[in-house]
């Protein structure tokens, strides 16, 4: 995992867009973002005990694997890629453990409102807190395979950033938790 400020230069969202300014893990922690590295072998094997321990600690009961690629999503690919890159939040945590491929999660820093880009590769596990504005995109390889974990049944309703989302109680709770807002 590598985190840095997004350069905001127009162009393909799948490019690194690296401003050259790194972001330390401590900054991500202040935003409520959690990170682990659990190595994945070239064959896609990983230590299930480590994933299970995190799942127990964070009360994740369900899991599945998603293949985000043209082959994995078929006709829905272009629409999903556009949807994933719209700035949004969820009312539940979003957890991804990268098993193959690579991509980027962008999260909003507060109070600056700058984008922080998080480059993810196999072995990287990330938890985005409920209420954080974020987006996702593949990189130029156009493929990522990720294990998704859920507290209950998957609820992946994206709430795109806007006036009504800014007043969402989950968003309000998130801002309070990170010390921005009441």
Token pair in block for residue 128: 């985005």
Give 132-160 pLDDT, tens digit per residue: 999 999 999 999 999 999 988 766 789 99
**CB 127, CB 57: distance < 8 Å:** no
Residue listed under structure tokens 């969820």: 90
Q: Between vectors from CA 61 to CA 56 and to CA 63, what angle results, nearest 5°? A: 110
* Dihedral, 146, 151, 152, 156 alpha carbons, nearest 10: -50
pTM (2 d.p.)? 0.94
Binding residues for Ni(2+): 88, 90, 94, 134
Q: What is the pLDDT of residues 72-123, one digit of tens each?
A: 899 999 899 999 999 999 999 999 999 999 999 999 998 899 999 999 999 9
Residues of the binding site for Fe(2+): 88, 90, 94, 134
Q: What is the pLDDT of residue 182?
A: 47
CA dist., res. 1 & res. 20, Å (int): 15
Whether omega for the bond prior to residue 50 falls within 30 degrees of 0, making it cis, is no
Is 69 in contact with 157 (CB distance < 8 Å)? no
Q: In terms of DSSP bridges, do strands 94-101 and 124-128 run parallel, antiparallel, or are they unpaired? A: antiparallel
User: Does 43 or 155 have the greater pLDDT score?
Assistant: 43
pLDDT of residue 155: 67
Cα–Cα dist 63/52, whole Å: 10
Please, which residues bridge with residue 108 across strands?
115
> What residue numbers does the annotated binding site cover?
88, 90, 94, 134
What does the chain come to in residues? 182
Q: List, in order of start, the domains of the chain with CATH numbers.
A: 2-177 (2.60.120.10)
Mean pLDDT of the chain: 94
| Residue 152, both tokens | 């209950």
């Amino acid at each position: 995992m590598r985190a840095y400020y997004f350069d905001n230069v127009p162009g393909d969202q799948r490019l690194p867009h690296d401003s050259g300014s790194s972001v330390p893990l401590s900054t991500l922690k202040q935003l409520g973002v959690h990170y682990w590295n659990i190595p994945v072998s070239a064959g896609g094997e990983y230590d299930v005990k480590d994933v299970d321990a995190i799942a127990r600690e964070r009360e994740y009961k369900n899991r599945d694997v998603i293949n985000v690629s043209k082959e994995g999503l078929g006709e829905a690919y272009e629409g999903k890629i556009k949807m994933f890159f719209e700035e949004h939040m969820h009312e539940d945590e979003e957890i991804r453990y990268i098993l193959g491929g690579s991509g980027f999660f962008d999260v909003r820093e507060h109070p600056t409102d700058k984008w922080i880009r998080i480059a993810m590769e196999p072995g990287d596990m990330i938890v985005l807190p409920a209420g954080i504005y974020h987006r996702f995109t593949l990189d130029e390889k156009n493929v990522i395979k990720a294990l998704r974990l859920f507290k209950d049944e998957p609820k992946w309703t994206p709430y795109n950033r806007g006036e009504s989302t800014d007043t969402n109680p989950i968003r309000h709770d998130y801002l309070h938790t990170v010390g921005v807002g009441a």
